[in-house]
Amino acid sequence: MGAFIEAIDLRKTYHVGKIEVPALRGISLSVQKGEFVTVVGPSGSGKSSLFYLLGGLTRADSGKVILDGEDIAALPDSERTRLRKRKIGFVFQKFNLLPTLDARSNIAIAREISRNGNNDPAFFSRITELLGLAKRLNHRPSELSGGEQQRVALARALINKPAVVLADEPTGNLDTENSTIVLQMLRQSNQELGQTVLMITHNPEAAKYGDRIIHMRDGHIVKPEEDPQWAARD
């Protein structure tokens, strides 16, 4: 099937005043279509920076991201935005729901934004049932628990059946029960729809839901035995 997501020698340094903060020091990876890959590594190792670049949310200093055959940095902003809306579902640690909209509208808005006309009420019902949200759809985020908010955010990410799901610490603020629901849903969606999933996590239990684990440290991809957190667990 070939690589669906390919990163080639990605480099990114942040500039804070006169200080340079290197975040990615040459990352190359490739994720096959339909693969579920998890990315682990200590805090500050560059995981979120990688997530933003792979999702076309920020630009690299150098290197390339090829998504489904398209070099996303080479696209004009408007095209890149379109590609993102059409092909990628995002899940963030902090949910990022719209506070004034109820759960139903928070999910539905993703469909309107993508404008792919994919209005499939049966799929909406199925996703919200599977995520245990059927009775919570008329509530605003402030009336929902953290776990419920993340389940809404996941429904929003999946509602357009995106080819790629990118998740940055999706269970970082959740209890075990809600983490399990979120992880199982990601896995199920990956298997049923052949979605390519890249999930960042701190949690070795969560990382097991994927097919393969990528370890990061100090802006590099490293071998598992070079990841101190990981090595300490066995």
Residues that bind ligand ADP (CB under 6 A): 14, 16, 21, 23, 41, 43-49
Q: Which does 179 bind (CB under 5 to 8 A by kind): ligand ADP, Mg ion, none?
A: none
Which C-beta is closer to Mg ion: that of 148 or that of 169? 169
Secondary structure element (H or E) that encloses residue 128, with its range: helix 121-130
Which residues on adjacent β-strands are paired with residue 111?
none
Binding piece for Mg ion, criterion CB under 5 A, among 47-55, 62-70, 151-159, 221-229: 47-55
Strands 164-168 and 196-200: parallel
Region for 189 from its dihedrals, namely left if φ exceeds 0, alpha if ψ lies in -120 to 50, beta otherwise: alpha
Cα gap 105→57, rounded to integer Å: 23
In the complex, the smallest distance separating the C-beta of residue 232 from ligand ADP, rounded to whole angstroms, is 17
* Number of other CB atoms surrounding residue 206 within 10 Å: 24
Which C-beta is closer to ligand ADP: that of 50 or that of 165? 50
Which C-beta is closer to ligand ADP: that of 114 or that of 171? 171
Which C-beta is closer to ligand ADP: that of 49 or that of 149? 49
Strands 62-67 and 70-71: antiparallel
- Options 13, 30, 48, 229; binder of Mg ion; rule CB under 5 A: 48
In the complex, the smallest distance separating the C-beta of residue 111 from ligand ADP, rounded to whole angstroms, is 29
